Chains A and B, each alone.
Chain A
Amino acid sequence: MTGSAVRQNGHFGETNPRAVAETVTDPELPMLTLADLGVLRDVRDEGGTVVVEITPTYSGCPAMGVMRADLVHALHRAGFADVDVRTVLSPAWSTDWISDEGRHKLAAGGIAPPGTAPVRPAGPVPLSLGPTRRTAACPVCGSLDTEELSEFSATACKALRRCRTCREPFEHVKEI
């Protein structure tokens, strides 16, 4: 499944609940919709109830409750009385699910989008002792000469970097 793909199987007359759900933005990355982020997994009709499926980015993502409430409110406002927002845990969210449009919006918002997520085969996870070799273009000046300051930043999903060319610090959505 790619980026913002949401299954096309809802039929609710004139207003499409999927279109409504796709307008809801992420509380921590408000330039992105939940669909852009790949968090919105499905919107469908189950006997007159709008069933929305979302998946957490990280296990501890504190935004899930807000996302749930925002989806319910948006759908209520659009006239859907019965809304059921469900969590799906599997498959686990990956930054590869952020849509191309979402990546453009991140960069435009000053946050470097993620590269390709590492492949995680079954079996033991190899230890990585060296400095990380990820690259991320500076969202301010576009330079590729950037360095990582910390793999952890203001939210669980971002790392902190600095541009060696324009000296601006910036955040980078780290690959998982």
Chain B
Amino acid sequence: MHEETVYDALDHAHGGEGQWAFGTGFDEPLAGVDTTVPEGIDPADLGAYCLMLGDDALVLCQRLTQWVTNAPELEEEVALANCGLDLLGQARLLLARAGSVGVLGRSRTLATDSIPDEDALAYFRDPDEFRNSRLVEAPNGDFAQTLVRLLAASTWRLALFARLRESRDPVLAAIAAKGVPELTYHRDHAARWVLRLGDGTTESHRRAQAGVDAVWPLLADLFSPTDVETRLIAAGVAVDSGELRDEVRDVLTTVLERATLTVPAWPAEHPSRGRAGDHGPELTVLLADLQGLAREHPAATW
């Protein structure tokens, strides 16, 4: 063998398709899936909605994986990374769905036209083009705050995905049906930790309450549908996030009360800032970390 690098040699030994080790090489997550948009659904709206839900998952995944090498227990490090991996999978499917209906349009550039849609969307959009909610981008805080945020985010997402299984877009419905059991594990895991910390020692209780108090105002960003969502709700594609309020509040209240934590007053809701691309400076830092390598070496493989 006279390959130029050790990687070329490994690639050659493994069939020569850029796949020399586990997890290397690109894989289109919707390969072979019928991505036809059903009649009566505006592809631009559908793409924008998939970005909202995909960006929520991508950004929360990035936050969760920031605990790797830092979590208080090895098992917990593995658990948070696993939750992140599920969310990354959901993000890939949703960003690929957004790409399949043409959200990239003419924004494709020379740097990005040779890479998959999902990667172009994840790595080559600027912060103001992200449509994630404010809830998921906020910094982790301590371990207790991270678990309170995971509880809130997974409760909201599970309530949404459970309803989205009935979406008129079959791809979105399938992604949601697949996500429901995953999110059930995430929510139950976070809820048990909030119980353990809230009803634990004086210090763990103090930290859990501080986490609740920090996360609660961010819920205000989640329950007011944007214009895109309003049109898609009418078309039977999207779920009305306002309809999730009672279920989310009930679940969170149940957990917090059992955890002997004080349930703050419900925050004054406002039109979603995150969904409008209005983010905090923390997202810029997070994305710089996420996107740096891909932007430095577009279409790199390893």
A residues sitting closer than 8 Å to B (CB atoms) are 27, 53, 56, 58-66, 68-69, 72-73, 84-93, 118, 120, 122-125, 127-129, 131, 149-154, 156, 160, 174, 176
**Inside 8 A of B14's CB, which chain A residues have their CB?**
69
Known: A89-B174, A90-B174, A122-B165. A65 touches B86 (CB 8 A): no
Are the CB atoms of B177 and A92 closer together than 8 Å? yes
A-B contact pairs, 12 of them (CB 8 A): A59-B93, A60-B90, A65-B24, A65-B25, A66-B22, A85-B31, A88-B32, A90-B178, A92-B174, A150-B75, A150-B78, A152-B189
A73 CA to B13 CA, complexed, in Å: 12
Partner of B188, one of A59, A63, A88, A127: A127
Residue of B nearest to A150 (CB): B75
Residues of chain A lying within 8 A (CB to CB) of residue B31: 68, 85-87
Evaluate whether A59 and B89 lie within 8 angstroms (CB atoms) in the complex, with A129-B191, A150-B79 already known.
yes
The answer to whether A69 and B15 have CB atoms under 8 Å apart is: yes
- Which 5 pairs across A and B sit closest by C-beta, in order of nearness? A86-B32, A60-B89, A59-B89, A65-B27, A90-B174
Q: Which of B38-46, B107-115, B250-258, B266-274 contacts A (4 or more CB under 8 A)?
A: B250-258
B213 CB-CB contact with A under 8 Å: no
B279 CB to closest chain A CB (Å) equals 24
Q: Is B88 an interface position by the 8 A CB rule?
A: yes
CB neighbours of B82 from chain A (8 A): 152-153, 156
Q: Chain A residues with Cβ under 8 A from B238's Cβ?
A: none
Asked if B162 and A123 sit within 8 Å, CB to CB, the answer is yes
Chain B 176-197 near chain A by CB (<8 Å), digits 1 or 0? 0111111011011101100100
Interface assignment of B85: CB less than 8 Å from any CB of chain A: yes
Residues of A within 8 A of B75 (CB): 149-150, 152, 160
Distance in Å: Cβ of B48 to nearest Cβ of chain A: 21
Q: Given that A89-B33, A125-B158, A129-B192 are contacting pairs, would A58 and B89 also be in contact in the complex, using a CB cutoff of 8 Å?
A: yes
Q: Least Cβ distance of A42 to chain B in Å?
A: 11
B287 proximal to A (CB < 8 A): no
Q: Can you name the residue of chain B whose Cβ is closest to the Cβ of A69?
A: B19
Tell me whether A64 and B27 are in contact (CB under 8 A).
yes
Interface contact B247-A124, CB-CB below 8 Å: yes
Specify which of B22, B29, B158, B177 is in contact with A87 (CB 8 Å cutoff).
Answer: B29
| Residues from 155 to 183 in B contacting A, C-beta threshold 8 Å | 158-159, 162, 165-166, 170-171, 173-175, 177-182
Please give, as numbers and ranges, the residues of chain A lying within 8 Å of B89 by CB-CB distance: 56, 58-61
User: A131–B162 Cα gap in the complex (Å)?
Assistant: 23
Q: Which residues of A contact B7 (CB under 8 A)?
A: none
Q: Is the CB of A152 within 8 A of B23?
A: no
Residues of A within 8 A of B180 (CB): 120, 125
B191 contacts across to A, CB distance below 8 A? 127-129
Closest to A65 in B: B27
- Which listed residue, A53, A120, A153, touches B32 by the CB 8 Å rule? A53
Determine which of B33, B162, B255 lies in contact with A129 in the assembled complex, contact meaning CB atoms within 8 Å: B255
Decide yes or no whether B293 CB sits under 8 A from chain A: no
Min CB distance B184 to A, Å, is 5
Query: Among the listed A124, A128, A160, which residue makes an inter-chain contact with B159, where contact means beta carbons less than 8 Å apart?
Result: A124
Chain B residue nearest in CB terms to A121: B162
Closest to A62 in B: B23
Complex CA–CA separation, A153 to B185 (angstroms): 13
Chain B window 185-222, contacts with chain A (Cβ cutoff 8 Å), 1 for yes, 0 for no: 10111011001000000000000000000000000000
